[in-house]
Structure 1
């Protein structure tokens, strides 16, 4: 039986990805910092016959994240798919315009680097050796569209971190594809679960399954924004993944 680990298993996209892979027969390891929500999600999956377990961890606690994923590997035998998407909340995603040196500071960037880039490096580093040893595995990493190719100048601190993670994943895929491991970055330009049909979590989760099964493109730019949309006050429009 194959296992997916969903890191950043929030109530919207994380939950939908867990269910999408579970429907294909995958066991599910859920990793996030909210213990109660994780336990409820694991129980919900379990009532449908899915083998699911919760492994609470904060992605900014690198030792704790490694321990959670190691526990998931021990529990299920392996992690065959890693999905990393610790979505920012409104409080995490405060406005930090690139033009304003008074708010775009080193201090404002460090927490985003800790969560997104260092968290991603840690999660990948824990599961990658096993994937390479087995000669198979998938790593799917998600971030906002500001990682590329869109430009969102109002949250430059967050975009610095996500762009770094995007670069890592693209380089990783180029390095390990010939060894049976597939890595892809997903840039999401959508307000998940806020009304547009293409922005519903289940619809987006289907795109993750396609990436995993087709294993051809190292990057997906998922854009479901209205054509006339202008990014203003973006911090009020994002919720946990």
Structure 2
């Protein structure tokens, strides 16, 4: 039995990805801050017949994140697929408000780096050695498309962090060539569940499964935004989970 760990699991994309992989026979480890939210996702998966574990942790608390991943491995076995898609909570935005490009400060960037880039590095480095040893594994890391494929100056401090994360994953994809381990970045230019067909969680989850199954592309861009998106200043609505 294979296991997917969904870090940043929420009631939209995280739940849909969990259900899609469960349909393929995967056990599911759910990791995020809020135990209540995780339990609701787990309850939704009860009809799949797969094993589902709830492991609360804040990705900015590195020891807690490592402990959650270790607990998932102990209960469900080695993590074969890691999906990392953290989404900021209201407390995050109070601590590090979204900042326009001309107003970026060091402090405005540091908290975003902590959430996106450093949390992602910690999660990947926990599972990567085991994947390399086994010669198989998948790492899928998600962010808003302002990380590179699009320009989103309204939230520049976030994009500095997610841009670094995207660059790292693209380099990781290249570095892992020939190892049996696959890494890809998913750039989400959509209001999840609020637009057309491509923005629906189930459609997006199918795309994540194809990335894992086909193991070729370094990046997938999911685009379902209105043409006047940037003109209306809606970049702060990028959502990951």
Q: Same fold (TM over 0.5)?
A: yes
Distance in 2 separating the partners of 1:61 and 1:89: 15
| Structure 1 residues 75 and 138: alpha-carbon distance in aligned structure 2, compared to 1, 3 A threshold | same
1:5 touches 1:82 (CA, 8 Å); kept in 2? Answer: yes
- Cα-to-partner distance string for 1:26-46 (whole Å, 9 max, x where unaligned): 000000000111122223212
| Cα shift at 1:229 | 2.7
Distance in 2 separating the partners of 1:163 and 1:239: 15
| Structure 1 residues 130 and 35: alpha-carbon distance in aligned structure 2, compared to 1, 3 A threshold | same
2:140 touches 2:186 (CA, 8 Å); kept in 1? Answer: yes
Gapped regions of structure 1 (runs ≥ 5): none
Please name the residue that 2:5 is paired with: 5
2:152 touches 2:235 (CA, 8 Å); kept in 1? Answer: no
| Cα shift at 1:77 | 1.4
| Structure 1 residues 66 and 115: alpha-carbon distance in aligned structure 2, compared to 1, 3 A threshold | same
Please name the residue that 1:68 is paired with: 68
* Residue aligned with 1:141, SS: strand
2:195 touches 2:224 (CA, 8 Å); kept in 1? Answer: no
Distance in 2 separating the partners of 1:139 and 1:236: 26
| Cα shift at 1:235 | 6.4
The TM-score normalised by the length of structure 1 is: 0.94
| Structure 1 residues 35 and 116: alpha-carbon distance in aligned structure 2, compared to 1, 3 A threshold | same
* Residue aligned with 1:36, SS: helix
Residue pairs, 1:76-95, within 5 angstroms:
76-89=76-89, 92=92, 94-95=97-98
| Cα shift at 1:233 | 4.1
CA RMSD of aligned residues (A): 1.6
Distance in 1 separating the partners of 2:117 and 2:153: 19
Query: Displaced runs of 4+ in structure 1, greater than 2 A?
Result: 88-95, 226-240
* Residue aligned with 2:101, SS: coil
* Residue aligned with 1:184, SS: strand
Please name the residue that 1:219 is paired with: 219
Please name the residue that 1:122 is paired with: 122
* Residue aligned with 1:155, SS: helix
Gapped regions of structure 2 (runs ≥ 5): none
- Cα-to-partner distance string for 1:148-197 (whole Å, 9 max, x where unaligned): 11110011100010011111111111111211000000110000011322
Report the more deviating stretch, 35-44 or 4-13.
35-44
1:191 touches 1:237 (CA, 8 Å); kept in 2? Answer: yes
Please name the residue that 2:144 is paired with: 144
The TM-score normalised by the length of structure 2 is: 0.94
Distance in 1 separating the partners of 2:36 and 2:114: 24
| Structure 1 residues 123 and 14: alpha-carbon distance in aligned structure 2, compared to 1, 3 A threshold | same
- Cα-to-partner distance string for 1:61-100 (whole Å, 9 max, x where unaligned): 0110011001111111100000000023466454311112
Q: Tell whether 2:58 aligns with 1:55.
A: no
Report the more deviating stretch, 45-54 or 10-19.
45-54
